[in-house]
Structure 1
Amino acid sequence: MGHIETIYGCMFAGKTTELIRRVEGKNVLAFKPKLDNRYSTGHIVSHNGETLKAVLIDRAEEIMDHVNGKAEYIAIDEVQFLNSIGSVCRQLANQGYKVVCAGLDLDFRGEPFPPMPYLVAVSHSVTHLRAKCVCCGKPATRTQRLIDGQPAHVDDPVIMVGADDLYEPRCVDCHEVRGVRKKMF
């Protein structure tokens, strides 16, 4: 029987490392959005340098063009960039695949990435990972975007690919978004 596992959390929480760990040594076919070109264009790469060969895609539906019944596991990283990923994962699970996904649950403003609530709802198991807040050391559940060392403005583009050059993990209390009067919980 197929199933869907989703690993989610803020940046630097270890999502990609956990994704790679779960499929290590398995018969796996891996995917990542072309948009994520931070470390490699042919591999899923964790911030600590672990890698997994991957097929690059623009849309979640493209995954169906590559599955061929030979892999038992389907690994998908950075799923927050794939709008219909929940539907595709359900199709894969219904075909008997074991699907393992990883992605950000919230954008830099603290708002859910559109595909994530549905994906989490249809998953058979979910793992919420946290990082350590760089300001106070508490568990971090938010991704802080910094532009020239300052918190990003609420009107800045939602998608801006980067790593520790633009982002850091923060707890709810230390997370800031310019242009927002109230904290977004």
Structure 2
Amino acid sequence: MFIEPNLSGKRNGWIEVICGSMFSGKTEELIRRLKRVQFAGLKVEIFKPAIDTRYDESDIVSHDTNTIRSTPVTSSQEILLMAQDANVIGIDEAQFFDDGLPDVCDQLACKGLRIIVAGLDMDYAGKPFGQMPFLLAKADYITKLHAICVKCGAIAQYSYRKLPDDDQLMLGAMDVYEPRCRKCYYEKED
């Protein structure tokens, strides 16, 4: 993508959202896009929720162990404060952020920044997750990724939780979740 100048001489900003189930490659795609921007010499700031310490305290790490430096934050307002000199903002695990994240992304895009956000669009119960529906509504570009169903090999858009727990927030990887297609998700066979 290129940045078109507007009439005021400032560049246009936009919001890109990468969504899908667990193990669909969301973080891998986010890292890929951010590394390309860094290679182009643009100033990048990358954020993740401080609660996500599954693979690393600060870096964003994909399930394939691809990694990129990031700053853990406890609220979306911290992103506004730390993004002042950036051209591009990357945000991972957007579903874990507070309800201010869509407005923060909108404000930054209005200032001419490219915002790239990745997150789960649905929780383990198949319901919209956190602020993702609001980010999807504000997005200029949406990429929906799919995993492969571990039961039948079809495309998977659901994150099936293997452990009996009703809490919406439960961090985990293949030990806790597996990707399933619609048919296998609703059959809920183990």
Shared fold, TM over 0.5: yes
Task: Please state whether the residue corresponding to 2:16 is helix, strand or coil.
Answer: strand
SS at match of 1:31: strand
- Contact 1:109/1:177 (CA < 8 Å) preserved in 2? no
Native 8 Å contact 1:4 1:89 kept in 2: yes
1:103 aligns with 2:119: yes
Runs of 5+ consecutive residues of structure 1 not aligned to the other structure: 179-185
Query: Quick one: which of 175, 180, 189 aligns to 1:165?
Result: 175
Once residues 46 and 104 of structure 1 are traced to their aligned partners in structure 2, the CA distance between those partners, rounded to angstroms, is: 14
Q: Which runs of 4+ in 1 moved over 2 A?
A: none
TM-score if structure 1 supplies the norm length? 0.89
Of stretches 6-15 and 22-31 in structure 1, the one that deviates more from structure 2 is 22-31
Q: Give the equivalent residue in structure 1 for 2:90.
A: 75
How far residue 177 of structure 1 moved from its aligned partner, in angstroms, is 8.6
Correspondence for 2:5: none
| Separation of aligned partners in 2, 1:84 and 1:142 | 26
Tell me how many residue pairs correspond in the alignment: 171
Contact 1:140 1:170 in 2 (8 A): yes
Q: 1:14 aligns with which of 3, 16, 25?
A: 25
Mapped to 2, the partners of 1:137 and 1:171 lie a distance apart of: 8
Q: Which residue of 2 aligns with 1:43?
A: 59
Deviation at 1:167, TM superposition (A): 0.5
- In 1, Cα distance between equivalents of 2:187 and 2:142: 28
Unaligned runs of 5+ in 2: 1-11
What's the C-alpha RMSD, in Å, of the aligned pairs? Answer: 1.4
Deviation at 1:176, TM superposition (A): 4.6
Q: Residue 182 of structure 2 aligns to a residue in which SS?
A: coil
Amino acid in the other structure paired with 1:170: R
How far does residue 68 in structure 1 lie from its aligned partner after superposition? Answer: 2.1
1:144·1:176 contact (CA, 8 Å) conserved in 2?
no
Q: Residue 114 of structure 1 is aligned with which of 99, 105, 130? A: 130
